[in-house]
């Protein structure tokens, strides 16, 4: 019976992943085609490892090979129509796969001629470039989804409709030749920075994550979280938060994180007494925060390092304090919900012992520790990832129970290539957007329009930037969302005097939190599918739990010290402590419980006090602390009175 239940849970998780994560809805080949796919994927990974070890090719050549492998695998793995067979390759998909390999190959074969006639497009160039752009758009539809396609098409229409646009949006317009030349035969379009980062850093980190997953690190994280927090009030919910935070160190997908850890934690939460809408929300909020968790974070973090022009380790350092505050907010939310409903934890006798877990599988975390050390020591992300990949395989050999077989090492190469396809396609599509922006100059125009709308004031500018990021993030991967918002909205903040890193981190945060913000909250939808709850209510609960993500970006823009910008140890400690106390006030206000259940007036006071504590500044901290202390005194007296009455 238990085996049947496990099979049902696995099937449910697989179905949810396919429904809400398009990257997981792939063909299921057997026989010859399965071997062809494996060979292509393994060759793709070997190429990436070879260039990482011996030096990458010229920018356009490296990115062309990367895109060629990616498009070929996408058209072989993702069918044109959902109704088509998932076990037999359709002739149209085969044709598109051949074209997906041929169009980037044209750049490899004609590279010298293309360099010599830079800016001049022949009729053959035009046909190849046009087909290449269309192939990227169709691949985006299959892997990423229609929202991203509509955004890309909107920018392409704008490129041609410039003379007919009103006001500041007007431009001279582009011809087909000008647009195709810029998008496909320069490094400012499809083969721009996003695809460049995908073809170097991102691939290696995703391959690293694939090997860590093969070693069983995910189960180690879940068991460790159980031993640490499973016994506490509302234990399974805290296990979900902790395990998702740990999984976030190696996983950049919120939906995949929800399914991976949620298939285990959500049933436990429901069994303990959490409502199904809240159980799904806990996992959605915690898993979404995984993209904010150093050292790997989401793929967009690598792009941020390139766009801002700082080493990746600076992005990691900047993300530490906001990540702590985010997960503190989610943790506090589940704690107060457990107190409000008198939910107990799991008996310690039923939980694994932390020491036993570390003794048996603690060595699996060695690569994570090493990669952080290498990044901090000044190693490039590529070199750090290479060492970590080798070490993840070597670490598995330290104990017989975790030892990887040769076939598992080979399968890790295949898994890494498959896992990168979603990011690869999103980066290529984002390149189209960047190409249109750079060719038309619309980025600065939109930034100026945003400033005019906000009346030149910082807070309204941040608010409109937040709304823009949330809207663009609905159903759009974080990578692409970040590219769009950093191109359009972040410059407006920079013009207001906000540090570049803080402006980019601001749009990065709201692009991520879109995964739990209704009406299109993919992580919350995945959580509700596993819990059996209402998708919209799950999204609302997830947004409440992720309240930190809606407030913290405003704080670090006003006080960049939270991003380690010109930070002093004492000032950083003060800001962190007061912000955590503020999170206690906000979380208790939203849940409706602090020491005991709160009244409506107490919730309002707690919310205001929490905001004052989070807002940097000595005066606001003192007022906020007094306000929160007053509520604590009132709550303690009420608890004592209730105890006396009983």
Output the pLDDT for position 250: 62
Residue 323 near residue 559 (C-beta atoms within 8 A):
no
Output the pLDDT for position 20: 59
- Between 234 and 544, residue with greater pLDDT: 544
| 451 pLDDT more than 70 | yes
Determine which of 203-207, 227-231, 417-421, 550-554 has the lowest per-residue pLDDT on average: 227-231
Q: Which band of pLDDT confidence, cut at 50, 70 and 90, is reported for residue 147?
A: confident
Would you give the DSSP letter of residue 199?
I
Scored b (16 or more CB within 10 A) or e, 600-625 reads eebbebbbbbbbbbbbbeeebbebbb
Output the pLDDT for position 14: 61
Tell me the two tokens of residue 495.
């013009």
Residues 6+ apart with CB under 8 A from 574: none
Burial of 201 (0-12, 13-18, 19+ CB in 10 A): buried
Output the pLDDT for position 61: 95
Q: Return phi, psi of residue 118, to 5°.
A: -55, 130
Q: Which candidate, 621, 590, 627, places its Cα nearest to that of 608?
A: 627
Residue 526 near residue 20 (C-beta atoms within 8 A):
yes
Q: CA–CA separation, 477 vs 426, rounded Å? A: 7
Summarised one tens digit per residue, pLDDT across range 104-116 is 999 999 998 888 8
Summarised one tens digit per residue, pLDDT across range 280-335 is 888 888 888 877 887 767 677 888 888 898 888 888 888 888 888 888 888 888 88
Q: Where are the domains of the chain?
A: 9-194, 568-646
| 33 pLDDT more than 80 | yes
Q: CA–CA separation, 598 vs 593, rounded Å? A: 5
Q: Which band of pLDDT confidence, cut at 50, 70 and 90, is reported for residue 467?
A: confident
Give the number of C-alpha atoms closer than 13 A to the C-alpha of residue 572, restricted to the C-beta side: 16
- Specify the 3-state DSSP secondary structure of 294: coil
Position of tokens 């380690």? 564
Summarised one tens digit per residue, pLDDT across range 149-169 is 998 999 999 999 988 888 778
Output the pLDDT for position 22: 62
Q: Which band of pLDDT confidence, cut at 50, 70 and 90, is reported for residue 376?
A: confident
Q: Which bin fits 307, alpha (ψ -120 to 50), beta or left (φ > 0)?
A: alpha
Q: Which band of pLDDT confidence, cut at 50, 70 and 90, is reported for residue 24?
A: low
Q: CA–CA separation, 355 vs 343, rounded Å? A: 27
Q: Which candidate, 431, 295, 276, 266, places its Cα nearest to that of 375?
A: 295
| C-alpha separations of 322 from 319, 571, 575 in Å | 6, 15, 11
Output the pLDDT for position 16: 63
Output the pLDDT for position 1: 44
User: Average pLDDT of 609-615?
Assistant: 85
Mean pLDDT computed over every residue of the chain = 85
| 126 pLDDT more than 70 | yes
Residue 252 near residue 198 (C-beta atoms within 8 A):
no
Summarised one tens digit per residue, pLDDT across range 479-502 is 777 888 788 778 888 888 889 999
Summarised one tens digit per residue, pLDDT across range 621-630 is 899 999 999 9
Summarised one tens digit per residue, pLDDT across range 566-590 is 878 888 888 888 888 988 999 899 8
- Between 633 and 360, residue with greater pLDDT: 633
Residue 218 near residue 247 (C-beta atoms within 8 A):
yes
User: Average pLDDT of 380-387?
Assistant: 88
Q: CA–CA separation, 457 vs 461, rounded Å? A: 6
Q: Which band of pLDDT confidence, cut at 50, 70 and 90, is reported for residue 2?
A: very low
Q: CA–CA separation, 410 vs 457, rounded Å? A: 55
| Dihedral sign from CA coordinates of 464, 470, 476, 477 | positive
Q: Return phi, psi of residue 467, to 5°.
A: -60, -40
State the alpha helices, DSSP H only, in 276-365.
276-288, 300-308, 312-340, 354-361
Give the number of C-alpha atoms closer than 13 A to the C-alpha of residue 155, restricted to the C-beta side: 28
Q: CA–CA separation, 204 vs 47, rounded Å? A: 11
Q: Which of 42-56, 315-329, 439-453, 612-626 has the highest mean pLDDT?
A: 42-56
Q: Return phi, psi of residue 353, to 5°.
A: -85, 135
Would you give the DSSP letter of residue 202?
I
Please state the pTM of the whole predicted model: 0.84
């Amino acid at each position: 019976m238990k085996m049947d239940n496990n099979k049902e849970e696995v099937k449910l998780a697989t179905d949810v992943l396919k429904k809400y994560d398009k990257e997981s809805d792939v063909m299921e080949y057997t026989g010859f085609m399965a071997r062809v796919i494996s060979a292509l994927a393994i060759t793709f990974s070997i190429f990436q490892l070879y260039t990482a070890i011996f030096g990458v090719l010229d920018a356009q050549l490296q990115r062309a090979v990367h895109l060629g492998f990616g498009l070929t695998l996408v058209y072989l793995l993702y069918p044109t129509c959902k109704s088509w067979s998932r076990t037999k390759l359709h002739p149209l998909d085969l044709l598109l796969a051949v074209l997906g390999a041929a169009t980037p190959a044209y750049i490899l074969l004609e590279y010298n001629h293309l360099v010599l006639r830079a800016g001049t497009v022949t009729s053959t160039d035009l046909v190849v470039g046009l087909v290449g752009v269309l192939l990227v758009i169709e691949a985006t539809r299959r892997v990423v989804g229609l929202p991203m396609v509509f955004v890309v098409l909107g920018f392409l229409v704008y490129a041609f409709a410039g003379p007919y646009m009103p006001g500041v949006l007007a431009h001279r317009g582009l011809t087909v030749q000008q647009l195709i030349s810029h998008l496909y035969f320069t490094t400012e379009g499809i083969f721009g920075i996003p695809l460049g980062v995908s073809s170097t850093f991102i691939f290696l980190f995703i391959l690293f994550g694939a090997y860590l997953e093969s070693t069983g690190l995910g189960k180690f994280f879940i068991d460790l979280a159980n031993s640490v927090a499973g016994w506490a009030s509302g234990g399974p919910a805290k296990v979900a938060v902790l395990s998702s935070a740990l999984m976030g160190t190696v996983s950049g997908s919120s939906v995949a994180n929800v399914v991976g850890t949620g298939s285990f934690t959500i049933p436990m939460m429901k069994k303990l007494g959490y409502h199904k809408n809240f159980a799904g929300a806990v996992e959605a909020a915690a898993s979404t925060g995984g993209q904010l968790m150093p050292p790997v974070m989401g793929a967009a973090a690598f792009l941020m390092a390139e766009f801002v022009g700082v080493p990746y380790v600076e992005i990691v350092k900047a993300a530490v304090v906001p990540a702590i505050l985010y997960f503190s907010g989610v943790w506090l939310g589940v704690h107060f919900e457990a107190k409000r409903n008198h939910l107990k934890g799991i008996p310690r006798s039923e939980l694994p012992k932390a020491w036993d877990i570390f003794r048996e599988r603690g060595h699996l975390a060695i690569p994570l520790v090493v990669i952080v050390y290498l990044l901090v020591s000044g190693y490039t992300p590529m070199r750090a990832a290479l060492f970590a990949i080798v070490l993840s395989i070597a670490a598995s050999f330290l104990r017989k129970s975790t030892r990887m077989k040769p076939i598992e090492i080979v399968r890790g190469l295949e898994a890494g290539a498959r896992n990168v396809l979603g990011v690869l396609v999103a980066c290529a599509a984002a390149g189209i957007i960047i190409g249109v922006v750079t060719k038309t100059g619309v980025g600065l125009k939109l930034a100026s329009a945003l400033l005019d709308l906000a009346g030149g004031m910082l807070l309204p500018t941040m608010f409109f930037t937040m709304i823009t990021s949330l809207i663009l993030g609905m159903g759009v991967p974080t990578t692409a969302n970040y590219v769009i918002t950093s191109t359009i909205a972040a410059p407006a903040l920079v013009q207001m005097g906000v540090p570049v890193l803080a402006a980019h981190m601001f749009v990065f945060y709201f692009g991520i939190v879109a995964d739990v913000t209704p009406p299109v909250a993919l992580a919350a939808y995945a959580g509700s599918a596993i819990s059996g709850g209402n998708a919209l209510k799950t999204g609302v609960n997830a947004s409440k739990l992720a309240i930190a993500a809606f407030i913290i970006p405003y704080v670090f823009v006003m006080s960049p010290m939270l991003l380690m910008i010109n930070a002093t140890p004492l000032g950083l400690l003060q800001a962190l402590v007061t912000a955590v106390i503020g999170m206690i006030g906000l979380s208790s206000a939203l849940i409706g419980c602090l020491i005991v259940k709160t009244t409506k007036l107490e919730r309002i006071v707690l919310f205001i006090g929490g905001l004052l504590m989070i807002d940097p500044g000595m005066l606001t901290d003192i007022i906020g602390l007094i306000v929160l202390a007053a509520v604590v005194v009132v709550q303690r007296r009420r608890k004592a009175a209730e105890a006396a009455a009983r």
